[in-house]
Amino acid sequence: MHGISAGGVAALDLLARHPARLLHVVAHEPPCVSVLPDGARQRAGFVEVCDVYRDRGLAAAGARMAALLEERAAGELPEGQPLSREEELASPMAISLAHVLLPFTAYIPTAAPSGPRLTLTAGTDSRNHLLYRTAELLAKDLHGDFVEIPGGHLGAAQHPVAYAEQLTRTLLGADVTG
């Protein structure tokens, strides 16, 4: 099983609940930031992202989230306004900000006592970023492998062929460190 971002959280939860159903879980940059030593501060940053979304809309929340993920100051946020309920339901990003982001960043995965192989991945362009740190720590804490994959948080969209090639090697057991 392979999951990216929130999908990585879902994959980790499935691993914890039903390890016998899986052979290998690859979670790419899951935003389980509560596991970090500075997890409370990072979670507060995601709460702020959601507050900005509710007050100023998607563009401002996106700018705040990018700064948080890159662990830099946000600077001035674009002006905007809250989305209507209909607009929110039409936007996957808005639905994520309104309903997914906070519970997923609070999630603390647990390792299955025994079971399938686990690999955490992070994008080469994400080095020194929040979710790279998170993936590295989770690999260590959950006794999984850690692999870099081309691109950043959205490496599958940025470099689809190179991402798929590295994912294939990872699933087959090559190029794994840990």
**What pLDDT digit, counting tens, does each position of 118-157 carry?**
999 999 999 999 999 999 999 999 999 999 999 999 888 9
Q: How far apart are CA 61 and CA 51, in angstroms?
A: 8
Q: What are the tens digits of pLDDT across the range 76-122?
A: 999 999 999 999 999 999 999 999 999 999 999 987 667 788 999 99
Average pLDDT, the chain: 93
Report if pTM > 0.75.
yes
DSSP the chain: -EEETHHHHHHHHHHHH-GGG-SEEEEES---GGGSTTHHHHHHHHHHHHHHHHHH-HHHHHHHHHHHHTTS---SPPP--PPPHHHHHT-HHHHIIIIIHHHHHH------SS-SEEEEEEEGGGTTSHHHHHHHHHHHHTT-EEEEESSSTTHHHHSHHHHHHHHHHHHHT-S-B-
